[in-house]
């Protein structure tokens, strides 16, 4: 059994898609980051960086102890190794898969995240920040578009690289024009049964996904959960 500490954000959907793809036994522990739940002491014991996602895996080969993990890339790699799925064992395709996974974790996540912050959440409009991160997101879309030109998936076969990139692309693609290969790949990803199930589960868990001034203040750390 695996506990998935989850909220309905791009980083949250990555392990949820992977768990749905692999058919592992899991349960979702909602962490409403718009209500400040990521700062609860019990959650910090699992995710000291106060971010979702995190997992507790109660059945790990070679140990009787549960394994606790935060950082979506570490979680996807762990689940890939545990199941032998979506992370090739052979050195060359494994390295290529991890390369694109790290590209997502180090580039797409932070840059797209900052772009959405300046475009949608920043309490004041700061054109420099919004333009800077939009341009960087656009550049990353271009890299992905070229990579997908002659292949159905990012790193050969369908893998944790695709799973890590898709939730960020589906959240932002409509804001950018002209990335036809990304659009084709994203449309294919959206049709995968595991992806459909993950987003249906997310919609059941977060029934009020709209951002209010209060949830924004909590998320940006402008107020503490108890004072909100």
Identify the H or E element spanning 68: strand 67-70
Closest approach, Cβ 116 to ligand GSH, in A, equals 10
Name the residue among 55, 100, 107, 110 with its Cα closest to residue 79: 55
Q: Is residue 38 a contact point for ligand GSH (CB under 6 A)?
A: yes
**88 vs 109, which CB is nearer to ligand GSH?**
109
Binding window for ligand GSH (CB under 6 A); candidates: 8-16, 58-66, 148-156, 178-186: 8-16
Q: Where are the alpha helices (DSSP H) in 37-71?
A: 41-46
User: Hey, is 5 helix, strand or coil?
Assistant: strand
Closest approach, Cβ 88 to ligand GSH, in A, equals 21
Pull the structure tokens for residue 129. Answer: 């920040």
Contact assessment for residue 147 and residue 179, using Cβ atoms and an 8 Å cutoff: no
- The answer for residues whose C-beta is within 8 angstroms of residue 87's C-beta and 6 or more apart is 76, 77, 80, 81, 94, 97, 98, 159, 160
Q: What angle do CA 80, 30, 173 make, to 5 degrees?
A: 65
Closest approach, Cβ 113 to ligand GSH, in A, equals 6
Binding window for ligand GSH (CB under 6 A); candidates: 70-78, 119-127, 152-160, 187-195: 70-78
Binding window for ligand GSH (CB under 6 A); candidates: 71-79, 95-103, 124-132, 205-213: 71-79
Site for ligand GSH in 92-151 (CB under 6 A): 105, 109
- The answer for residues whose C-beta is within 8 angstroms of residue 159's C-beta and 6 or more apart is 80, 86, 87, 88, 97, 100, 153
Closest approach, Cβ 112 to ligand GSH, in A, equals 10
Closest approach, Cβ 50 to ligand GSH, in A, equals 6
Q: Is residue 33 a contact point for ligand GSH (CB under 6 A)?
A: yes
Q: Is residue 219 a contact point for ligand GSH (CB under 6 A)?
A: yes
**151 vs 224, which CB is nearer to ligand GSH?**
224
User: Hey, is 72 helix, strand or coil?
Assistant: helix
Pull the structure tokens for residue 110. Answer: 């932070």
**72 vs 172, which CB is nearer to ligand GSH?**
72
Residues that bind ligand GSH (CB under 6 A): 9-11, 33, 38, 50-53, 71-73, 105, 109, 219
């Amino acid at each position: 059994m695996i506990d998935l500490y989850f909220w309905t954000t791009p980083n949250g959907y990555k392990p949820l898609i992977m768990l749905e793809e692999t058919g592992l036994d899991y349960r979702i522990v909602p962490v409403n980051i718009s209500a400040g739940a990521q700062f609860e002491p019990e959650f910090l014991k699992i995710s000291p960086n106060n971010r979702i996602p995190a997992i507790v895996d109660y059945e790990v080969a070679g140990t009787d102890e549960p394994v606790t993990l935060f950082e979506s890339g570490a979680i996807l790699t762990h689940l890939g190794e545990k199941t032998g799925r979506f992370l090739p064992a052979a050195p060359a395709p494994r390295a290529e898969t991890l390369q694109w996974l790290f590209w997502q974790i180090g580039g797409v996540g932070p840059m797209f995240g900052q772009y959405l912050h300046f475009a949608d959440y920043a309490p004041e409009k700061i054109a420099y920040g919004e333009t800077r991160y939009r341009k960087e997101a656009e550049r990353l879309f271009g890299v992905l578009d070229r990579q997908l030109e002659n292949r159905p998936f990012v790193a050969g076969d369908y893998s944790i690289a695709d799973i890590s990139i898709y939730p960020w692309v589906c959240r932002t693609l409509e804001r950018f024009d002209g990335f036809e290969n990304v659009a084709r790949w994203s449309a294919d990803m959206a049709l995968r049964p595991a992806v459909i199930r993950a987003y249906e589960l997310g919609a059941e868990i977060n029934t009020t996904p709209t951002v209010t001034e209060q949830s924004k203040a909590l998320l940006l750390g402008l107020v503490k959960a108890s004072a909100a």
